[in-house]
Structure 1
Amino acid sequence: MSNLCIIPARGGSKRIPRKNIKPFLGKPIIAYSIEAAINSGLFDEVMVSTDDSEIAEIANKYGATVPFLRTEKASSDFATTFDVIEEVVAQYEAINRNFDFICCLYACAPFVTSDKLSESLKMLETQEYDSVFPVIPFGFPIQRALKLEGEKINFFYPEFSLSRSQDLEKSYHDAGQFYWMNINRCLKKKKIVTNNSGCIIISEIEGQDIDNHIDWKLAELKYELLQSTE
């Protein structure tokens, strides 16, 4: 089996400028993803898909390849992760390189470990999923979610307004770290998460969505706490 790791890292981050190479506890945040992928020993190639020469230089420094620069279309604010994957696969096919499994690993995912990558790949292979990715349990039941209607607050799901939290079904959200894919199946279905996807469950301290500067600081605090308990 041939495996490729794709790390998407465009240069045009809006909410946190230069987010993908911003220093995270002493080194560019993208370095954590590159090192986790390389150290896992799972990949025939670890590549960074970018439109930015500085990101490409840093990616090379930490051991990733940048065999092609991303096109303008795949670098726009409207391009999806799937668009990037499709483009990278087509670029490799053009030089007669094909892969059985692809892992799309985000550049701002310092909590990813080689063990989690290995565990997810094993699940993908043995259970014949289309894709596998990490999820985090919601800290509070989504069935008890509230919404504002004008100046009044109401339940999204009034039928659960009197339910005990412990009686409600557990819910999860995408950790936003990586996706292992059977690439042929996902390309055929034109999506990453299908009706045949699996997951590994991680804790709230093992992940952090990083969309603003407060998120960034929380991620650093969580990372340091995890390191101190190992």
Structure 2
Amino acid sequence: MSNLAIIPARGGSKRIPRKNIRPFLGKPIIAYVIDTALQSGLFSDVMVSTDDEEIAAIARQYGASIPFLRTTETAGDFATTAEVLSEVLSQYEQQGKRFDYACCLYPTAPFVTPKLLSRAFSTLTEKQFDTVYPVQQFSFPIQRAIRLSDSKVQWFQPEHALTRSQDLEPAYHDAGQFYFFSVNAFRQTNRLITDNSGGIVISEMAAHDIDNETDWQVAEFKFKLMDNVK
């Protein structure tokens, strides 16, 4: 069985410039993900898909491979993750290399641990899912969400306005960290999330989406807190 870790890290991030290699508590943020993938022992190759020579150099410094650079078609603002993964798998196939499973690991997900990757892979193979990824529970019941229209509030689901929180079904969202998937299933559908996808629940402290400067500061705070708890 052969597994590939793919870390997509283009150079043109807009909201946080050079986001994928920006220092996170003193180390390029991508280095945490590379190190986790290598430590997991799950992968025959840990590669970074990038169009940027500086990112490539830093990735190599921390142990990742850069067998080829990303093309201009998949380096733009509108390229999807699926398109990037398809390109990577095709490039490897042209070299005569095929993989049973692959994991798309986002470069700004420093909270991912080798243990979490192993848990995802076990779930993927044992339950024969197409894809497995981390999910987090919404901190407030989504059934009691409201909309605002000219400062007026309205229930999305008025039938639950008085329902006790503990009586409502928990809801979850994608934690935005990684997708561990069957290469064969992905090649057939060209989709990461299918009707046969599975989720593994992680705590609210075990991930943080980073889209702006405040997110970055909160993520560093949470990471230090989690690190001290270990």
**Bucket of the pairwise TM-score, normalised by the shorter protein:** over 0.9
Q: Helix, strand or coil: the match of 1:66?
A: coil
Q: How far apart are residue 187 of structure 1 and its match? A: 2.0
Which segment is superposed worse, 183-192 or 11-20?
Answer: 183-192
Q: What is the distance in 1 between the residues matched to 2:163 and 2:73? A: 48
Q: Is 2:146–2:154's contact at 8 Å kept on the other side of the alignment?
A: yes
2:95 aligns with: 95
Q: What is the distance in 2 between the residues matched to 1:145 and 1:82? A: 31
- Superposed CA offset, 1:174-228 (max 9, x none): 0110100001112212211111111111000000000011111111011000111
1:84 aligns with: 84
Q: What is the distance in 1 between the residues matched to 2:63 and 2:16? A: 25
1:24 aligns with: 24
How does 1:143-158 map onto structure 2 within 5 Å?
Answer: 143-158=143-158
Q: Helix, strand or coil: the match of 1:193?
A: coil
- Superposed CA offset, 1:35-90 (max 9, x none): 00001111000000000000000000000001111111101111111110000000
Q: What is the distance in 2 between the residues matched to 1:113 and 1:151? A: 43
The normalised TM-score by structure 1 is: 0.98
Q: Any stretches of 5+ residues in structure 1 without a counterpart?
A: none
- Superposed CA offset, 1:126-169 (max 9, x none): 11000101001100011111111223111111221121111111
Q: What is the distance in 1 between the residues matched to 2:99 and 2:125? A: 14
Q: What is the distance in 1 between the residues matched to 2:98 and 2:32? A: 26
- Superposed CA offset, 1:67-116 (max 9, x none): 11111110111111111000000000111100000000000000000000
1:198 aligns with: 198
1:67 aligns with: 67
Q: What is the distance in 2 between the residues matched to 1:155 and 1:54? A: 49
Q: What is the distance in 2 between the residues matched to 1:21 and 1:125? A: 32
How does 1:2-81 map onto structure 2 within 5 Å?
Answer: 2-81=2-81
Q: What is the distance in 2 between the residues matched to 1:48 and 1:121? A: 20
Q: What is the distance in 1 between the residues matched to 2:178 and 2:165? A: 30
Q: What is the distance in 2 between the residues matched to 1:49 and 1:174? A: 22
Which segment is superposed worse, 29-38 or 151-160?
Answer: 151-160
Amino acid at match of 1:34: I
Q: What is the distance in 2 between the residues matched to 1:227 and 1:12? A: 30
RMSD after superposition? 0.7
1:177 aligns with: 177
Q: What is the distance in 2 between the residues matched to 1:142 and 1:73? A: 38
Amino acid at match of 1:44: S
List structure 1 segments (4+ residues) > 2 angstroms apart after TM superposition. none
Aligned residues: 230
Amino acid at match of 1:95: Q
Percent identical among aligned pairs is: 57
Q: How far apart are residue 118 of structure 1 and its match? A: 0.6
Which segment is superposed worse, 82-91 or 156-165?
Answer: 156-165
